[in-house]
Amino acid sequence: MLENRRIVITGAAGTLGKATAGAAAGYGADVIGLDILPEHSSQDLSEYHCVDLTDREATTDCIAALGHIDGLVNIAGGFAMGVTASEPDDTQWEWMFRINVDTMRNATMAAVPVLKAREHATIVNIGALGALNGQAAMSAYCCAKSSVMKLTESLSEELKCDGINVNAVLPSIIDTPPNREAMPDADFDQWVKPAQLAEVICFLTSQRASALHGVLLPVKALV
């Protein structure tokens, strides 16, 4: 499904990043991982580069040096809750936008000139099903992920005539160690497994999804 395609995955050292790299490599892709960790080894990655994706110049330089790429998967991001919308505390707000929105924008801006040179290119972003509506004590996260979703739609309209498909997955709760730690009393069996979500991402990264533009695809398990 992804044979002869060079795919860049941001957040490659995280749980979903690892699962997506494994699935993409299994489908024949040449997978390049980007993350902030100084070192990360994986047999699924042909290359790994340490880069601060909130730094636009560093991100641009890193992606420009990769040569040709066929797809970008913007997984870098994170979750935080607990601060209400009326509290005069900007720390969580700024952090959620930096790691969810700025990373995606910086990687996308760097990748688009390279992707335009390919016959069929893709960008897949990670939204959030829970951000379709406002949630108590989650305003920063919901607003950040809503921005990712609207950026996905805007980018799709701007780039579809350049041969670039831009779509996003909207997972419900993903079964990751940080989420288990944050919600220890939840039923983890009802959450979306990283491997399940990785399969959907790989489909959107493939030419099989060439008819999809600006799709915000819900990926929901039992909750």
- Answer whether 54's CB lies under 8 Å from 48's CB: no
**What percent of the residues of the chain are helix, what percent strand, and what percent coil, each to the nearest 5?**
45, 15, 40
Average confidence score pLDDT of the chain: 96
pLDDT bin (cut points 50, 70, 90) of residue 64 is very high
pLDDT bin (cut points 50, 70, 90) of residue 223 is low
Q: Which of 104-108, 134-138, 185-189 has the lowest mean pLDDT?
A: 134-138
Largest CA-CA distance found in the chain, in angstroms, rounded: 50
Where on the phi/psi map is residue 135: left (φ > 0), alpha (ψ -120 to 50), or beta? beta
Structure tokens of 50? 């340490």
User: What angle (nearest 5°) sits at the alpha carbon of residue 158, between those of residues 152 and 162?
Assistant: 115
Instruction: List, as one string, the DSSP characters of 78-107.
Output: -------TTSS--HHHHHHHIIIIIHHHHH
Arithmetic mean of pLDDT, 89-104: 96
Q: Which of 52-56, 86-90, 98-102, 143-147 has the lowest mean pLDDT?
A: 86-90
Q: Determine the pLDDT at residue 221.
A: 83
State what percent of residues in the chain have pLDDT above 70: 100
Q: 171 Cβ partners below 8 Å, 6+ apart?
A: 126, 128, 129, 192, 197, 218, 219, 220
Q: Determine the pLDDT at residue 24.
A: 98
Cα(16)–Cα(73) distance, rounded to whole angstroms?
11
Ordered structural domains, the chain, with CATH: 6-219 (3.40.50.720)
Q: Determine the pLDDT at residue 91.
A: 95
Q: Determine the pLDDT at residue 222.
A: 73
Q: What is the torsional sign of CA 59, 197, 39, 122?
A: negative
Structure tokens of 127? 């939204």
Q: Determine the pLDDT at residue 41.
A: 83
